Amino acid sequence: MRGGVPLAFFARLLGGQPATEASDGYDGYEFWLGADERGTGGALIVMREDEPMVPDEPYCLVWGVQEGTTYGGVRSVTVSEGQVEFDLAPGNAAELDVPRTFRITFAPDQTETVRRGLQRTLGEEVVA
């Protein structure tokens, strides 16, 4: 547990939405996996900027509500029925204060929603 945010949680709330310059400060997409609306029961937010200032870091991961943030560093993501497993580069995992590999579970009927949302934010080459 980091700062009160559990390392393992069941995502009851998940989904994505476009981000705009006017409302979010950038144009892109955000995808949320959260245990509750406030993120205190566990949350991972993945944000992708459509035209990033640093091309090698088009996305960031935010753990909890604002417990930690890292840019880039996702080696792979495996989405299977009712769960997603992340494999991060060691430095990026350290920035979030999470294990290099971790898993988030969710309702099995949400598997394709999670796959599409993570492909939109992290890229199809990263998400299997």
> What are the tens digits of pLDDT across the range 12-57?
999 999 999 999 889 999 999 999 888 778 899 999 999 888 777 8
Going by the DSSP 8-state scheme, the letter that residue 3 receives in this structure is T
Question: How much is the pLDDT for 1?
Answer: 46
Question: How much is the pLDDT for 14?
Answer: 93
pLDDT, average across residues 87-109? 93
Please report, rounded to a whole number, the percentage of residues in the chain having pLDDT higher than 70: 93
Q: What gap in Å lies between CA 39 and CA 44, rounded to an integer?
A: 8
The bridge status of strand 10-11 relative to strand 101-106 is parallel
pLDDT, average across residues 79-105? 94
Q: Residue ranges per domain, the chain?
A: 10-122
- Which H or E run contains 71? strand 68-71
Question: How much is the pLDDT for 67?
Answer: 75
Question: How much is the pLDDT for 68?
Answer: 87
Q: What gap in Å lies between CA 47 and CA 57, rounded to an integer?
A: 11
Structure tokens at 85: 């497993």
Q: What gap in Å lies between CA 122 and CA 34, rounded to an integer?
A: 18
CA 105 to mean position of chain CA atoms: 13
Going by the DSSP 8-state scheme, the letter that residue 113 receives in this structure is H
Question: How much is the pLDDT for 5?
Answer: 53
